[in-house]
Chain A
Amino acid sequence: MPRAFTLLGLLALAGCGAGVGTPNAKPATKADAAHAADGEKLEGKLVVTGSSTCAPLVAEIGKRFEQRHPGVRVDVQTGGSSRGVADPQTGIADLGMASRALKEDEARLVQAHTLALDGICVILNKANPVTELGDAQVAAIYTGKIGTWNEVGGSEAAITVVNKAEGRSTLELFLRYFELKSANVKASVVIGDNEQGLKTVAGNPDAIGYVSVGAAESAARSGAPIKLLPMNGVAATVENIRNGSFPLARPLNLVTLPNPTGLKKAFIEFALSKEVHDLIREQSFVPVE
């Protein structure tokens, strides 16, 4: 009998004790005492929340930053660009991530720091004979005015329209470019992340979707049966995003309250520097030159 008690007790102890003993055990969401001046040691914790598109990249940047400054912890959380804009204001996060430009009313409250660029392109399954769609045709497909592929030069099959879930910046950007309203979009499938969009279109020869160019390019390179449609005659490539000719591009931003200081400022400077360009390219995005 005592043995079972001891076991439970140990479990409980392990549960409570581990948190108390360590020095880092602070439920801090604010960056603690940080000094950004040259030569001084950076210390504290940065909580970064927001866009799931940015999250893997910022997490990698955070790891490299932690290596440079062993006293710093960068915690990256996801949730979408809307949270990335809201959380720095409510204080839940020190920095936000948004994979879109700030809206006018947001720009009055927070400041955006562009760390990379990303483009959005329309993708089709490789088996689909259609090779180009005009802006008006894409808009007509997404509003349900065109329902089968033969209306745009394809097969008899009905079109499977893949749309993004509300709150995703890819959706907002796509809607603004094609001058669509969310309520008018007739979607067959609603998806969350880039990878999900790629998989849906790769698995369905009659599907049309839109995803990040970087993600689509690297998926196509690794053999996924998808093709990237040109936009307004401009091929959807990372190169065309960098030179600014691709029409549907978006910035990946770090979001802060105006004039960040201390640790936040140091991290932003690091994330915008050349030192992380290899990380940005690894995640299939385009560094800002």
Chain B
Amino acid sequence: MSRGRAADRLLALAVWVSVLAVAAVFFWILGSLLWSGMGRVTWAFLTTAPRDAGRAGGIGPILVSTLLILGVCMAVSLPLGLGAAVLLSEFAEAGSLFGRAVRRSLDVLAGVPSIVFGLFGTALFCQALGLGYSIFAGGLTLACMVLPILIRATEEGFRSAPSEYRRAAAALGMSRASALWHVLLPAAAPGLLVGLVLGMGRALAETAALLFTSGYVDRMPESLLDSARALSIHIYDLSMNVTGGDPNACATAVVLVALLLAVNGLAAWMTGRWLSRRVLPA
């Protein structure tokens, strides 16, 4: 057997081992969560309010609050993110000082620890703007956190559209807006999807930024100006602050993971529909 062959096999082995190691960690986490939490996830758990500091009862209001916070976050960050991405990729010159400055600051912002966003959100939304502890304040803080990721991924999506698209659209006399809507946006959809999935993942997993913005109240929210507890904060509180809260913390974690998968699936489906409208063949 030649030396090259042996090296090839070694490489293949190394690649397989690393893939299996990564997959094993994922399945370990998922498996232990399901093992210790799945048994408690029932319809009643999903719909009833928590009792005895979360040790008993369900997570109904918390699930609703989480969806509302995510909704506010996405309703704000999606249009802003799309707009900023369009500006960066279509209107700013590729190497311009402005473009570079914006991109650099977005990259720095994307790396800022979430607790910093939490403090910023508390100071701006809760206190300066007088929103107090509320779903609004939490959602807006999350939007600040998610925006950099969303913008950069969507911008990459726009950039991946060949420049022939733009020229062809111009040659056909399409307005810039309609070229953007009919040609470029569908072409950029995969990038947008990546941004959405990463952004929503970060938003749903967030604890530090929400503790002092949307808060700790586990009552069913009556308006978007009510304080409301997110799933991640509920898990944190049950596992770190409430003695005997572990079983329900695991069950809540199972729900959070399932919600994340469902929301990602929904995003993929919606982007897929968008993709199917595209004028140009894939």
Binding site for B on A (CB under 8 A): 1, 4, 7-8, 11-12, 14-15, 18-19, 21-22, 24-29, 47, 52-53, 55-57, 59-60, 63, 66, 73, 75-79, 92, 192-196, 198, 215, 218-219, 222, 282-284
Please tell me which one of the listed residues B52, B54, B224, B227 contacts residue A15 in the complex, with CB atoms under 8 A apart: B224
Q: Tell whether, in the assembled complex, residue A27 and residue B225 are in contact, meaning their CB atoms are under 8 Å apart.
A: yes
Given contacts A8-B79, A18-B224, contact A27 B132 (CB under 8 A): yes
Interface residues of B in 257-282 (CB under 8 A from A): 270, 274, 277
Report if B244 contacts A (CB, 8 A): yes
Give 10 CB contacts A-B under 8 Å. Answer: A7-B270, A12-B75, A12-B79, A22-B223, A25-B223, A27-B225, A29-B132, A195-B239, A215-B243, A222-B244
A92 and B227 CA atoms in complex are apart in Å by: 14
Q: Tell whether, in the assembled complex, residue A194 and residue B241 are in contact, meaning their CB atoms are under 8 Å apart.
A: yes
Report if B85 contacts A (CB, 8 A): no
Q: Tell whether, in the assembled complex, residue A218 and residue B243 are in contact, meaning their CB atoms are under 8 Å apart.
A: yes
Binding site for A on B (CB under 8 A): 52-54, 68, 71-72, 74-76, 78-79, 127, 130-134, 136, 139, 181-182, 211-212, 215-219, 222-227, 237, 239-245, 270, 274, 277
A27 and B182 CA atoms in complex are apart in Å by: 42
Q: Tell whether, in the assembled complex, residue B223 and residue A76 are in contact, meaning their CB atoms are under 8 Å apart.
A: no
A196 and B249 CA atoms in complex are apart in Å by: 14
A283 and B245 CA atoms in complex are apart in Å by: 11
Q: Tell whether, in the assembled complex, residue A92 and residue B216 are in contact, meaning their CB atoms are under 8 Å apart.
A: no
Q: Tell whether, in the assembled complex, residue A75 and residue B74 are in contact, meaning their CB atoms are under 8 Å apart.
A: no
Cβ–Cβ < 8 Å partners of A27 in chain B: 130-132, 134, 225
Q: Tell whether, in the assembled complex, residue B134 and residue A195 are in contact, meaning their CB atoms are under 8 Å apart.
A: no
Given contacts A47-B133, A79-B212, contact A56 B242 (CB under 8 A): yes
A218 and B55 CA atoms in complex are apart in Å by: 13
